[in-house]
Amino acid sequence: MAQPPRKAFPLRLDPALFDALERSAAGDLRSINAQVEVLLREALSRRGLKVAPPRPVKRGRPARDAGSE
């Protein structure tokens, strides 16, 4: 099943903020984009706003079809 499309938009950041995000993402072994999403979800949660959790990405081989043997 394909992932739903993600919303893309340009984001202008202060260079110092971007550097801090980059260090934080590297420390958590995430991309900067993933780190921004995590931080936004945490901030919204602290404000009491519910956001549906992201759908997990299916990894690995597809299940073996029993009829193809």
The domain in which residue 45 lies consists of 14-52
State residue 2's pLDDT score.
63
Whole-prediction pTM value?
0.70
pLDDT exceeds 60 at position 1: no
pLDDT exceeds 70 at position 69: no
Residue 59 domain-assigned (yes or no): no
**Cα(40)–Cα(34) distance, rounded to whole angstroms?**
10
**Cα(47)–Cα(2) distance, rounded to whole angstroms?**
31
Residue 39 domain-assigned (yes or no): yes
Domain count across the chain: 1
- Name the more confident of 43 and 54: 43
